[in-house]
Structure 1
Amino acid sequence: SGSLGKPLYAGDPAGLLAAREQAVALWTLKNNRRAGASTDTLQGARGLYLALRHRQHIFGVLGIDLGRDRLFTAENVVVLSLLGQAGLALENNENARLREQEALKAQQQGMKTSLLRSISHDLRTPLTTIGASADLLTHPGLREDQQRSLAASIRQESLWLRDTVENLLSLTRLDEGALHLNRQEVELEEAAVQALQHSGTRQTDHPVTIDIDPDCTGFLDGRLMVQLFVNLIGNAMAHTPAQTAITVTGRKQGDQVVLEVADDGPGIPKEVREHLFEPFCRKSTTIADSCRSMGLGLSLVHSIVEAHGGSISYRDNAPGACFCIKLPCTGETDEAIDTECGRRCADDQPAADGV
């Protein structure tokens, strides 16, 4: 970038930190030539300044406090040899970093393509259902019960679309660090009750029991906690047969709250479990038009839990599935806490180092 970064040094650096000395070091950085004491360029300087480079790529500047002395020939050879080795090592490190960046970009592009393919596949089924049901409603002679059934189908699919879009937006904000946690003391039992109310008519087919101790509280984002329960309860409802019992429990253990959302349904196949928290994880290894994925719900839950400094895991409920979440129940308000989805601070990377 053409500017010096924060200096690194051994011994007393006072002699090389003066503005005049820094100007000589900057000249060396910009011109890729030695300067200062014992040279023909800016020889009035106290230090000798050498470019730390490989070929024409300059990584920094080495400054040696010579005072009135000069480097012996053998010393000069050793210094130049060390500079060459250091430059080569930094060049190799830079190349490795660039390769990692390219590999990460390729991986992100592959994930983006896979995500878009999954989204388009998942949206096709509800949109087709909504369109077909709307067309049938325009036909004359439909009985009242048939009209109600078609309207209910449209409503169910539209709710699924709404939840998917909301989850996608929330997940994007969390992953990009743009969603700031609004931490306050949250009663998790109340959050679970609100989530159950949000489930609306879907809970009539699944008996849900909430058994969360009153002392299960924490400095958490209340809105995200409701969304966490909405997705976990909704996931259990969507992937278990009607009348499958769902239980939400919460217990305080030390400085953590342990939440469990369990059902007594068929459970989750072993080959799917390691991909459970990936977006649009599928219950089978093949993609068929009739097979809807598990959506973004579990992926969003995973991101919410991690943003709060917690953990989530899956285990068999024998029979059924159980998701176990551990969240911190102690802490401070959001003004005193910096999280991954809050303010992110990055140290400035120096363009070059003066030693």
Structure 2
Amino acid sequence: MELHELKTRLQAHLSDGLILVVGSGLSCAEGLPGMRDLAAHLCQTIVAESNEAQDWNEIVALIQEKGLEAALLQKAPSQRLEAAISAETGVFFAEAERSVISEVFEGRRTLRLTPLLAHMLKPFSGLPIITTNYDRLIEVAVEEAGLGVDTMFSGRFAGSLNERESHLSFCRNATYKKPRVILQYKTRALVYKPHGSLDWYLRNGVPVSYQGELKSAARLIITPGQNKFRNGYESPFDQHRARANDAIDRASRFLIIGYGFNDDHLETHLSPAIRGGKPTLLLTYELSNSAKDLASKYGNVMAIDREFRDGVEGSRVIIDRNHIFLPKLKLWDVKYFVTEVFEP
């Protein structure tokens, strides 16, 4: 396949009915830590009480052997340890996020997602973006692209989870055209975060959104392990998960960035939709085994990741179940994907 033909295929993919699914790979590309970094941080900072010390030592040994999620799936922490893991996870990612966002605010950095959004169709109903990430880089990138961000929370201080109010807050005009009123909305993204967000807190037993730092408040994020399945069916995670899965079911096609296909909250809908024939484009630093399997078996899946051949870095492209190597092109990186595919 000629390069110009590939670029035409990639451009055509960003068309009607597209939704965006974003995993931790995109945040890592912006400099945020990954799961290995988090695992090391937790092992160094969590201090177990005497009655939990043996259990925590066993968990630490499992983390070092199998990785964070596999360890917490094998041995569930106590409720207190789980709370400590969640708190430390929030602090760890928030500190790294703050540094990146400061650079954006000062004009020293453009997030990768911002220029990509310029080349995506924005439906009247909003562009669905589903992410398993806790950080708010997607929200920042969307606003930097001049779009609104609808997270289903409404209000600046202790914003409430109210999908209707959040939706109506983007209404910009109303015209009467007999026999009905036509509402005009700001172009926006619908950001669904089934694992929670760094700005979600629990206040008097009610989930709220607050953009600042609250050191004594419990962040609402779902950390890896057995308990994430239980927690995923509590508010506000259940509403975001339901809307994310509904968007997946309604989508015509997918653009999936930095996502490893290892989240059961989404996989019940996403992978079957892909196997059912919906056109899909995967961009990632390294394809997970699950992602590689989808691209190898299903002709509706295009996948691009990083590969070295004969000491030369380039892009591995899986298209029509065939493997192509493009030396010296970083199409797997969203930053270079935009410049190579859409800019002359």
Q: TM-score category by the smaller chain?
A: under 0.3
- Structure with the larger helix share: 1
Higher-strand-fraction structure: 2
Normalising by structure 2, we get a TM-score of 0.22
Report the TM-score when normalising by structure 1: 0.22
Tell me which structure has the larger Cα radius of gyration: 1
